[in-house]
């Protein structure tokens, strides 16, 4: 183990969230940030499932930032389709507004949340609905972005009760993203180009936000390490 780091399981991470959520009245929002392809969606689903299994009923659900991708039609009309994935190709203000709404809405009053379809390459409105869940696990690249060039993102951080940054070495991210783009129909060359010219630039922007997180996590076998 790296000196100064602590190994922890998904169940232990979920227990930490549950403890912290119980200390607070109202809904608790966990934010998971990290570069593209880091495994944020996988970690968020894992934490949600552990929380729900331990509670014996659905206390947690995932609220993906990816649901706020602008539509392909909107991006194409603005000439921004090739830049999809950059901070200003999301509705950041809409994301912050819905996070605030879901935090403030009484339990059992339904709040629909958009998800993102990797098959359709489009957001899906009302992909998930919050009603009785008391823990919201929101995840995405730009949760901790505090950059004057993209001011709308700064509204997100104050709405998060706890934040984790999922850190993964660049070469691993690169390989995962190339594989994913190829599964999406790109040739190897096109996938490499997309990663070099877009994903890795976004990853660099996200890497600068790491000090803003409460915890930095790294995957270690089946467990995680708290850096
Ligand atoms: N711990 C892991 N070990 C190995 N592969 C993983 C791990 N976590 C995720 N992956 C794989 O890496 C890819 C990216 O994972 P995931 O979709 O969770 O990342 P992400 O951070 O949500 O990406 P994006 O920013 O593009 O939404 C997926 O193919 C997933 O199966
Ligand atoms: Mg994801």
Closest Cα partner for 71 from 57, 62, 81, 83?
A: 81
103 touches 26 (CB < 8 A) = yes
pTM: predicted TM-score of the whole model, two decimal places: 0.95
Please report which ligand is nearest the Cα atom of 164. Answer: 1
- Counting ligands in written order, which one lies closest to the CA of residue 35? 1
Mutating to test ligand 1, I would choose from 10, 32, 41, 221 the residue with most ligand atoms within 8 A of its C-beta, which is 41
Q: Measured between alpha carbons, how far is 88 from 138 in angstroms, rounded to an integer?
A: 19
Report the pLDDT value the prediction gives residue 221, as an integer from 0 to 100. 84
176 close to ligand 1 (CB < 6 Angstrom) = yes
* pLDDT at res. 171: 94
C-alpha 133 to ligand 1 mean position (Å): 25
Distance 146 CA to ligand 1 centre (A): 24
Residue 225 to residues 11, 37, 90, Cα–Cα distance (Å)? 13, 18, 31
Q: Give the burial class of 169: count Cβ atoms within 10 A of its Cβ; 0-12 exposed, 13-18 middle, 19 or more buried.
A: exposed
189/169 Cα distance (integer angstroms):
22
Per-residue pLDDT tens listing for the chain (227 residues): 455 678 999 999 999 999 999 999 899 999 999 999 999 999 999 999 999 999 999 999 999 999 999 999 999 999 999 899 999 999 999 999 999 999 999 999 999 999 999 889 999 999 999 999 999 999 999 999 999 999 999 999 999 999 999 999 999 999 999 999 999 899 999 999 999 999 999 999 999 999 999 999 999 888 899 98
């Amino acid at each position: 183990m790296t000196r100064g780091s602590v190994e922890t399981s998904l169940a232990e991470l979920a227990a930490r969230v549950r403890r912290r959520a119980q200390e607070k009245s109202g809904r608790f929002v966990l934010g998971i940030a990290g570069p593209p392809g880091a495994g944020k969606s996988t970690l968020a689903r894992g934490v949600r499932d552990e929380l729900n299994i331990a509670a014996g009923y659905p206390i947690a659900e995932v609220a993906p930032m990816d649901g706020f991708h602008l539509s392909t039609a909107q991006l194409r009309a603005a000439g921004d389709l090739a830049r999809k994935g950059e901070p200003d190709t999301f509705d950041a203000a809409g994301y912050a507004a819905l996070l605030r709404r879901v935090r403030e809405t009484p339990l059992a009053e339904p709040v629909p949340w958009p998800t993102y379809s990797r098959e359709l390459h489009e957001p899906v409105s009302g992909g998930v609905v919050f009603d009785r869940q008391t823990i919201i696990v929101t995840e995405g690249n730009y949760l901790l972005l505090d950059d004057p060039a993209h001011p709308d993102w700064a509204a997100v951080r104050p709405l998060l009760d706890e934040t984790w940054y999922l850190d993964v070495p660049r070469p691993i991210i690169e390989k995962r993203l190339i594989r994913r783009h190829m599964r999406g129909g790109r040739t190897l060359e096109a996938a490499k180009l997309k990663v070099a010219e877009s994903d890795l630039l976004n990853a660099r922007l996200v890497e600068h936000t790491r000090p803003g997180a409460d915890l930095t996590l790294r995957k270690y076998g089946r467990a995680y390490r708290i850096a």
